[in-house]
Amino acid sequence: MKIAMALVIVVLVLALVGTFMVTKSEDVKYGESTKRNTINLTVIYIILFVVLAVGVIWYIVSVI
């Protein structure tokens, strides 16, 4: 259980760091579509959170 939770945390941290690294490069047209990009990133993180939460719950239920 501790290994699964650690893996979830590692994936979340890597995704966050990767997102910050991508945002360092400046795109000239980024200002025009900031709202769309923000919505897309938010949707990606929500989907990732739901998938990982279901995986952790499934793991907990299957172990017990």
Residue 41 corresponds to which tokens in the numbers above? 């990133």
How far is residue 25's CA from residue 12's CA, in Å, rounded to a whole number? 21
Q: Dump pLDDT digits (tens) for 19-28.
A: 888 877 776 7
List Cα–Cα distances, 55 to 3, 12, 21, 27, in angstroms. 13, 14, 27, 35
**CA-CA-CA-CA torsion sign (39, 43, 40, 12):** positive
pLDDT band at 40 (very low <50, low <70, confident <90, very high): very high
Report the pLDDT value the prediction gives residue 1, as an integer from 0 to 100.
80
